[in-house]
Structure 1
Amino acid sequence: MISTVIFASLAVYSWKILGFLIPDRLIGERGRLIAERMTVSLLAALVMLQGFSSQSDLVLDARAASLVVAGALLALRVPYIFVVLAGAVVAAGVRLLGF
């Protein structure tokens, strides 16, 4: 599973490098959109993988609660440092409660 993530990361990184090396007229708008969407989808996959899995099992623990709170705060456009701090506090609180 980790090899898939590494391969996908290298693929996205190569797209970014190619975007800088190839003239804009050869890439066009469609190529730019594909590169942007690949980056976002890889980031979303990494968040889901790290937030909701343990070994090869799906788990809902303190990380899931922390991600929900962080997502809500980001949607409200709260400054990033407060999002991180709130996520850490929520994760610590959930773990303290024993979930």
Structure 2
Amino acid sequence: MTNPAPSNILPGLGFRQRFPLLALILERFVLSIVLLFAVSILIFGGLEALPGDFATTYLGQSATPQAVANIRQDLGLNRPITTRYVEWLGNAVQGDFGTSWASKNSVSEQIG
């Protein structure tokens, strides 16, 4: 009997067995994307779960209802949470982290 050529052995092997390093790199990459997505949900959800309303906190207790409504409209806080999350995530992926309310400068520029 003849011995099978090495090329006949490879088609039966799985991707992980043929390319173990590449499989490890791809696995880690996919896991890191999943982890970043999970962390983004935790961050956004944590900010949403904070007690009180940002507009009321920012303007103070003596703010008029119209001023609070204007800030909520400007920030999009009156839109559904899923819409705000998708927009927030899309902007973050593009490197747009918005404008700091404290310094009125771009957060991306302040980071570095």
What TM-score does the superposition give when structure 2 sets the normalisation length? Answer: 0.26
What TM-score does the superposition give when structure 1 sets the normalisation length? Answer: 0.28
Higher helix share: 1
Higher strand share: 1
